[in-house]
């Protein structure tokens, strides 16, 4: 396990990614936020950080952000503005200070000689940028990327220089169905090739991938995104329910924390159909 550290870091750059897109429920904006590199000894793609601006009362709590890229000088996050906290992140400027703790949680499996299918949807592409950077044999990787906004809003160009990228733009429910159909088809192909699959994106998409992985019996990892408050496993806010295949039989069928047992899970070890339905009385 990589021991996380808490650091106060300086923002070195924050640039919009693509043009803002006008959507029925408001503007869609994307940013690449660059921070000075924390003094991490190591990290794994799929891991995340908790991020909070150091000053400003309007954002009291931190937010989990997937690590997009780490270079010798910097830590890069890919942010889609979805609410007040991400809006505040979008307004961070060079020189601003942030509190970061990480790297947190589990990372994606990386097998040099195994055909590896990356399935990404929307902002779920973020951890795969770092994955493609770090993989010792990028020729064994290919990515299927589904997006409802223009591809210029996502860091696909930089990735396409290193790995094979198949990009599907869906503007209608029918086109979204087509994306899911192609995803299942690619998974079947990777099963035949003895490969593995890694997926990141919104929950409805991950649920489909989870179901396909179980049907096809393809070793598949899912990166779950849940609301989190602590990132340390203490608050129990981000639970996922395990399946009977969970490695520790004592915890099989019980909730585990996405922030510490995940966010990357093997699909067969989760039960995404199980509901945490015990309401407060």
Partner 1 sequence: MDLRATLVPGLLELKNPIMSAAGTFGSGLEYSPYGDITQLGGIITNGLTLRPCMGSPMPRVAETPSGLLTSIGTQNDGVEHFVRHVLPQLPWQDVPIIPNLNANFVEDFSELAGILAAEPGIAALEVNLSCRNDNRSGQRFNQNTVTAARAVSAVKKAAGSKPVIAKLSPQIMDIVEVARSVEAAGADVISCIGTVQGLAVDVRERRAMLGSITGGLSGPAVKPLALRCVWQISHAVDIPVIGVGGIRTAQDVLEFMLVGAHAVAVGSASFSDPEAIFRIVRELPAVCEEYGVSDLDAFRGSLQG
Which residues in this chain contact partner 1 in the complex, by CB under 8 A? Answer: 3-6, 25, 50, 52, 57, 60-62, 84-85, 99, 101, 226-239, 241, 250-251, 254-255, 260, 275-281
CB of 24 to partner 1, least distance (A): 10
Nearest one of 169, 50, 161, 163 to 102, comparing CA atoms: 50
Nearest one of 266, 275, 209, 214 to 239, comparing CA atoms: 275
Strand partners, 79: 31
CB of 229 to partner 1, least distance (A): 4
Q: Are 128 and 200 in contact (CB under 8 A)?
A: yes
**How do strand 141-147 and strand 164-169 relate by DSSP bridges?**
parallel
Question: Residue 192: CB partners within 8 Å, gap ≥ 6?
Answer: none
User: Nearer Cβ to partner 1, position 100 or 218?
Assistant: 100
User: Nearer Cβ to partner 1, position 158 or 234?
Assistant: 234
User: Nearer Cβ to partner 1, position 8 or 157?
Assistant: 8
CB of 96 to partner 1, least distance (A): 16
Strand partners, 142: 117, 164
CA angle 21, 24, 28 (to 5 degrees): 30
CB of 122 to partner 1, least distance (A): 18
CB of 108 to partner 1, least distance (A): 22
CA 157, chain centre distance (Å): 18
**How do strand 21-23 and strand 141-147 relate by DSSP bridges?**
unpaired
* Residue 245, CA distances (Å) to 57, 215, 266, 267 in order: 44, 15, 10, 10
Dihedral pair phi/psi, residue 192, rounded to 5° = -65, -30
User: Nearer Cβ to partner 1, position 218 or 228?
Assistant: 228
User: Nearer Cβ to partner 1, position 158 or 254?
Assistant: 254
User: Nearer Cβ to partner 1, position 104 or 183?
Assistant: 104
Nearest one of 190, 189, 226, 212 to 267, comparing CA atoms: 212
User: Nearer Cβ to partner 1, position 115 or 233?
Assistant: 233
CB of 266 to partner 1, least distance (A): 20
Measured CA to CA, the distance from residue 63 to residue 50 in angstroms comes to 5
Question: Kind and range of the H or E element at 42?
Answer: none
């Amino acid at each position: 396990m990589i021991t996380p550290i808490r650091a106060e870091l300086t923002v070195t750059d924050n640039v919009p990614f693509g043009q803002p897109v006008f959507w029925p429920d408001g503007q869609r904006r994307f940013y690449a936020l660059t921070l000075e590199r924390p003094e991490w000894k190591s990290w794994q793609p799929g891991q995340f950080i908790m991020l909070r601006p150091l000053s400003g009362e309007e954002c009291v709590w931190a937010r989990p952000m997937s690590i997009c890229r780490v270079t010798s000088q910097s830590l890069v996050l890919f942010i889609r503005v979805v609410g007040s906290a991400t809006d505040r992140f979008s307004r961070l400027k060079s020189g601003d200070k942030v509190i970061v703790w990480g790297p947190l949680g589990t990372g994606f499996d990386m097998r040099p000689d195994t055909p590896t299918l990356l399935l990404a949807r929307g902002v779920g592409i973020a951890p795969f940028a770092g994955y493609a950077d770090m993989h010792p044999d990028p020729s064994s990787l290919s990515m299927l990327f589904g997006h409802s906004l223009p591809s210029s809003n996502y860091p696909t160009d930089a990735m396409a220089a290193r790995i094979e990228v198949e990009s599907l733009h869906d503007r209608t429910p029918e086109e979204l169905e087509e994306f899911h159909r192609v995803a299942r088809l690619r998974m079947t192909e990777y099963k035949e090739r003895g490969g593995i699959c890694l997926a990141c994106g919104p929950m409805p998409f991950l649920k489909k991938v989870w179901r396909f992985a179980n049907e096809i019996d393809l070793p598949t990892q899912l990166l779950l995104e849940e609301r989190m408050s602590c990132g340390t496993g203490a608050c129990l806010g981000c639970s996922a329910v395990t399946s009977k295949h969970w490695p520790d039989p004592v915890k099989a069928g019980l909730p585990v924390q996405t922030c510490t047992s995940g966010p990357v899970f093997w699909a067969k070890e989760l039960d995404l159909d199980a509901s945490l339905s015990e309401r407060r009385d």
